[in-house]
Amino acid sequence: MIPSPDDRFSPESERLLRELTPQALGVLVRRFRDFSAAEDAVQEALIAAHSQWPRDGLPDNPRAWLIQVASRRMTDLERRNIARRRREATAAQLGYLNPRSSLDAGRDDTLILLFLCCHPALTPPSAIALTLRAVGGLTTAEIASAFLVPEPTMAQRIARAKQTIKASGVGFHMPGTDERDERLRLVLHVLYLIFNEGYTASSGPELLRSDLSAEAIRLARVLHRLLPDDGEVAGLLALMLLTDARRAARSGPDGELIPLTKQDRSLWNAAQIAEGAALLAATLPKGAAGAYQLQAAIAALHDEAARVEDTDWPQILALYDLLDRLSGDAPSGNPMVSLNRAVAVAMVEGPSAGLDLLDALAADPRLTANHRLYAVRAHLLELSGDREGAVAHYRAAAERTASLPERNYLVAQAARLL
Amino acid sequence: MKYILMMNCPKTGYDTFGSWPKEDIQAHIAFMHNFNKKLQADGEFVLAEGLATPHEAKLVRAGKAGQPITDGAFAETKEYLAGFWIVDVVSTERAYALAAAASAAPGPGGAPLNMPIEVRQVMCGAPEEFV
């Protein structure tokens, strides 16, 4: 978990706090009908917990403690807002004496909060920040350091996000059935982005970066518990587990990238692979698989190959075919899926078949200048024995990537062939 | 995505800034102050620094024993880096828009300076999928 401001805060307390945050927030939003203020109050209660729990010990009922402290903060706020709201404040004071009254609402509240924080009116960075704070129970300081921005910047981003939600006029309730699928898709996308942030954040403490992936996995687990029958929720959780399982093998001692084909597979996390594969096994037979399930299935095939030469490429290609069909043709389709499919085609039918596909893909304006197109072409040219062409394309890819470790990797690939 | 916006300034700019009318200097400083405040309010601010006058700028290289060997200052250089921002924004277009806003900082008589601002992406960590 992300280190708390107080080092003595135990991982168990941290886990508990994360679990309870959305529940406490749900109770407060129901009671006070003001998401923005309630969220601030819960944040203050979290900070209070970080300083008081290590000193005074874990409260007998941590959930009630959080709700009580946050309610008190809310009441203070309300008091300052004078007579207009006096009645509600009084009601709140009475209410927090019995914080267990809304226990049953806790599960749904977490889901409603996720829908709210991943609101379509928010930009991805805003939705990510708000989700981590309101549902994930991270403090603003922790989110700011994970994203390497100053704390006031992150605080503003979160405040803006809450204003946007307020202005959109949505209340604290479950989206209607007509929009629920679309809204769930957004929630999954935001969790996916948080997971990826664990990889892609620029320099800064490694610990914080990988913990974003851990937090995304935790949130996906929560979502899977709430919606156990949703195949894509299970698929996303499986995809995260199966991808994260390779973390220890993914980079060398100096942070240099190690591609899948060169990784020491004994470093892969077998328990995580087993868990991801079991999730998939339980989900795939249920019917039409969505994009996350298919990607997870591809990740599983890679993970389950004991040696790189054992990789079941025909099966991976079949899955990419499904994924490609699912994502549709250009311009609506996902060009990265088509690009990965070209690699699978090359592995099954030989590099020239893959290269032919790349020629067709290069016309897609989203790929024309994309470094991945150059990197894949370089790789396939190398497989086909065209060293000179491979060197030129590795270099072209290196020039175009915004990732520092990837740039270094691509430059080294070119140098290796000289 | 993080971008660095590098504000280049002709050397004459450094030399003449001090001889602008007082109100114009104040207007310029107020503009920069508000620009930074707006970046912070919009949740896009990472870092902003102005650099000291280049008159005393030195180039430093390591000598044979690793000791610093300084060269310069170079009075003849035409342009200097006057300051920079690092911003965290949703798109390249947004970074360009911010750079254009900074470029139009007021100069003498309140006219926009339209300074050249070099915009470059700050590199990020490992890519999300690397197969």
pLDDT tens digits for A265-308? 999 999 999 999 999 999 988 888 999 999 999 999 999 999 99
Residue A393 in tokens: 């394309």
- Chain B contact present for A248, CB below 8 A: no
b or e along A192-205 (b: 16 or more beta carbons within 10 Å of the residue's beta carbon)? bbbbbbbbbbbeee
For residue A156, list chain B residues with Cβ-Cβ distance below 8 A.
40-43
Question: Cis link prior to A331 (omega < 30° from 0)?
Answer: yes
According to DSSP, the residues that pair with B85 across neighbouring strands are B5, B48
- Mean pLDDT score, A304-320: 96
First to last CA, chain A: 44
- Chain B contact present for A152, CB below 8 A: yes
b or e along A36-68 (b: 16 or more beta carbons within 10 Å of the residue's beta carbon)? ebbbbbbbbbbbbbbeebbeeeeeeebbbbbbb
Q: Within 10 A of B86 (CB to CB), how many other CB atoms are there?
A: 17
- The three-point CA angle A339-A343-A344 to 5° equals 115
According to DSSP, the residues that pair with B86 across neighbouring strands are B4, B47
Whole-number pLDDT of residue A335: 85
The candidate with the shortest Cα–Cα distance to A109, out of A165, A162, A30, A217, is A30
- Residues of chain A with pLDDT > 70, as a percent, come to 88
Mean of all residue pLDDT scores within chain A: 87
Query: What ipTM was reported for this prediction?
Result: 0.85
Residue B90 in tokens: 């949703």
Whole-number pLDDT of residue A404: 87
* Greatest extent of chain B over all pairs of C-alpha atoms, in Å: 60
Instruction: Out of A153, A156, A199, name the one closest to residue B128 (CB).
Output: A199
- pLDDT confidence bin for A172, thresholds 50/70/90: confident
Measured in angstroms, the CA of B72 and the nearest CA of chain A are apart by: 32
The helix/strand/coil state of A332 is coil
- Chain A contact present for B18, CB below 8 A: no
Whole-number pLDDT of residue A100: 41
Whole-angstrom distance, CA of residue A401 vs CA of residue A354? 22
Whole-number pLDDT of residue A102: 44
Whole-number pLDDT of residue A134: 95
Region of residue B60 (left: phi > 0; alpha: psi -120 to 50; beta: else): beta
Q: What is the pLDDT of residues A43-99, one digit of tens each?
A: 999 999 999 999 898 999 999 999 999 999 998 887 777 555 555 555 544 444 344
pTM of the complete model: 0.87
Whole-angstrom distance, CA of residue B50 vs CA of residue B36? 12
The candidate with the shortest Cα–Cα distance to A322, out of A279, A358, A345, A291, is A291
Instruction: Out of A153, A243, A250, name the one closest to residue B46 (CB).
Output: A153
- Chain A contact present for B1, CB below 8 A: yes
Whole-angstrom distance, CA of residue A293 vs CA of residue A281? 10
Give yes or no for a contact between A144 and A151, defined as CB atoms under 8 angstroms apart: yes
Q: Within 10 A of A10 (CB to CB), how many other CB atoms are there?
A: 14
- Chain A contact present for B42, CB below 8 A: yes
Whole-angstrom distance, CA of residue A401 vs CA of residue A303? 26
Q: What is the pLDDT of residues A104-126, one digit of tens each?
A: 456 688 899 999 999 999 999 99
Whole-angstrom distance, CA of residue B109 vs CA of residue B131? 57
Q: What is the pLDDT of residues A373-408, one digit of tens each?
A: 999 999 999 999 999 999 999 999 999 998 888 999
Taken as a whole, chain A contains a residue count of: 418
- Mean pLDDT score, A310-326: 94
- The three-point CA angle A117-A10-A244 to 5° equals 55
Whole-number pLDDT of residue A95: 42
